[in-house]
Amino acid sequence: MTNQIIMNEEALRFVRCQFPALNGEWIFLDNAGGSQTAKQVGERITQYLYQSNVQLGASYDVSVRAGERVTQSQKTMAEFVNARDEKEIILGPSTTQLLQNLSKSLLQLFKPGDEVIVTNCDHEANIGPWMNMMKSGIVVKTWKINPETFSLDLSSLKKLMTPRTKLVAFTHVSNVVGTINPVKEITSFVHERGAMVCVDGVAFAPHRQVDVRDWDVDFYAFSFYKVYGPHYSLLYAKRDILGKLTGINHYFIGRQDIPYKLQPGNVNFELTYGLLGVTDYFDAVYDFLHPGSKKGLRNRLDELYKLFSENEAYLASLLIDFLKSKKEVKIIGEKSADPGIRVPTISFIKTGNKSSEIPPVTDAHQIGIRYGDFYARRLIESLGLAETDGVVRISLVHYNTGDEINKLIHILDRVL
C-alpha cells in the first residue's frame, strides 16, 4: 500500500465541508452503523417539506410538483444502481422491512418442500425473513462461512443446492468481516441451477458502485443512511419477477401496479426526494475535481468510487498494520487493506479483554467506535465470540482522514 494519501488535502477538505457533522469535535469511525449525512440531503428534504408537502395524485399544481419530485428521485435511484427503469426500485424505511415484505410476497410463489438457502454471516435482515418461511413448510438451509478464510465457498454452496432450491440469500460484504464476496460469480452459479438470489448490499454500497444489471442479481437491497443519505432504504427487483409477485398493499392495488404493490402506505415523500441529495453530493465532488465535465451519473460514480476506495484503503492500511503489530489482537477477517478484497470495516478481538471494555476508552477522547454482534449474531455465535461481547468494529469511509486514524491508534496503543 502506498504511503501517500490518495485524495489530496484540498479535495478532502471540500468533501468534509459537505458534511455539517464533521465540523464538530467528534471523530466518526462507526460509519458501518450509519454514515454522516451530506448537507445536500437535508436541503432536499427541507425543500420538499416547505414547498411541496402535500399528498400526491391531485390535479392542483403543488400536488403535481410533489409527484414530479418523487418520480424524479425514483428515476435517479434507478440510474444510481443501474436498473433498467424506476419500476424496479422499491423504497421503504429499512432493509430489514423491505426484505420482510419481499419474503412475504415471494412465499406466495413457493410450495411446501421448496428450499431457500441463507448464510450464517449475513446481517439478520437477510436471514430472519427467509427462516420465517419454515412456518409455511419451506426448507431453509445454511451456507456457512469458511472460518479460516472468512469467505463463502461455492463448493459448499454446491452441496446444498438441489432442483427444489428457489432462492439463495447472501451478503455482498459482511458488516463484521468486511470481505467482498464475488456477487457476479455467485449469482451466475445460482442461476445455472435454476434459483434466484437476494443480496444484502448494505455494507458494500457506501464503498463501491452498485451495478445490479452487470451482476444480474434478482434482488439487491441497501440502506441510504449508510450511504450519506437519509434513514431510508432501497430494494431492487427485476421487473419480470416483480410482475409475478403477489402484492402486500391494499386489495385494490393491482398485481401490475409496481412497485406500489410492495410499498404499503406508499413511500415517505420527503425522504424519497431527499435521496437526490446523495447524488447531488457526488455531483458536487465530481464538479470540484473536474470543472465543466459533462459526464453522466454512472461514469461519475465509477470514477468517484474508485478514488474513494483508494483513499479508504490507505486509511485501512494504517489501522490494519497497527493491529497486526499487537500480539494479543486478532483481526476477524482479511489482514490486508487491498480494496479488491475488502472494504474498510475492520473488526478485532483482544485476548484477555471483552470487546465491550475497549470502546469506552475512545469515547473519552470523542472518537466513536463500537463493539457487539452488529445483528450478525449467527456469525458471532458460530465463531465462538459471543462470550467476548462480540468484536470491536472500526468502520471507515472516504471522508475520514489519516490524522483521525493516527489519533485513534495513539489511544488504542495504550490498551491493546
R_g over Cα of the chain: 22
What is the domain partition of the chain in residue ranges?
9-40+296-412, 88-273
Distance from C-alpha of 52 to C-alpha of 123, rounded to nearest angstrom = 36
One-letter amino acid for residue 213 of the chain:
R
Q: Which residue(s) pair with 165 in the sheet? A: 115
Query: In this predicted structure, what is the pLDDT of residue 149?
Result: 87
Distance from C-alpha of 128 to C-alpha of 104, rounded to nearest angstrom = 12
> What is the dihedral sign for C-alpha 300, 303, 307, 308?
positive
What cell numbers appear for 39 in the block?
A: 448537507
From residue 163, give the alpha-carbon distance in Å to each of 115, 138, 195, 361.
9, 14, 9, 52
- Measured from the Cβ of residue 180, the count of other Cβ atoms closer than 10 Å reads 21
- What angle is formed at CA 33 by the lines to CA 27 and CA 39, rounded to 5 degrees? 65
CATH number, domain 88-273: 3.40.640.10
Q: Are both 9-40+296-412 and 88-273 of the same fold? A: no
User: Which residues are CB-neighbours of 236 under 8 A, at least 6 positions away?
Assistant: 81, 83, 88, 89, 90, 212, 217, 219, 220, 221
Query: In this predicted structure, what is the pLDDT of residue 396?
Result: 98
CA nearest neighbour of 32 among 403, 376, 341, 318: 376
CA nearest neighbour of 126 among 158, 97, 155, 162: 97
Burial class (CB in 10 A: 0-12, 13-18, 19+), 141: middle
Superfamily of domain 9-40+296-412: Aspartate Aminotransferase, domain 1 (3.90.1150.10)
- Measured from the Cβ of residue 16, the count of other Cβ atoms closer than 10 Å reads 16
What cell numbers appear for 129 in the block?
A: 425473513
Burial class (CB in 10 A: 0-12, 13-18, 19+), 2: exposed
From residue 374, give the alpha-carbon distance in Å to each of 11, 28, 42, 54, 121.
32, 17, 27, 37, 11
Distance from C-alpha of 197 to C-alpha of 112, rounded to nearest angstrom = 19
Query: In this predicted structure, what is the pLDDT of residue 3?
Result: 41
- Measured from the Cβ of residue 326, the count of other Cβ atoms closer than 10 Å reads 16
Flag residues of the chain having pLDDT under 70: 1-6
Which ranges in 173-296 belong to alpha helices (H)? 183-192, 212-215, 239-242, 269-274, 276-289
Element (H, E) at 329: strand 329-331
- Using an 8 Å Cβ cutoff, are 131 and 122 in contact? no
Distance from C-alpha of 324 to C-alpha of 322, rounded to nearest angstrom = 5
What would the 3-class secondary structure string for 15-83 be? HHHCCHHHHCCCEECEHHHCCCCCHHHHHHHHHHHHHCCCCCCCCCHHHHHHHHHHHHHHHHHHHHHCC
Find the farthest-apart pair of alpha carbons in the chain and give their distance in angstroms, rounded: 68
Distance from C-alpha of 121 to C-alpha of 123, rounded to nearest angstrom = 7
What cell numbers appear for 328 in the block?
A: 494479543
Backbone angles phi, psi at 243, to 5 degrees: -65, -25
From residue 13, give the alpha-carbon distance in Å to each of 22, 285, 315, 317.
11, 11, 16, 21
**pLDDT tens for each residue of 260-276:** 999 999 999 999 999 99
Query: In this predicted structure, what is the pLDDT of residue 254?
Result: 84
- Using an 8 Å Cβ cutoff, are 272 and 71 in contact? no
CA nearest neighbour of 266 among 90, 125, 104: 90
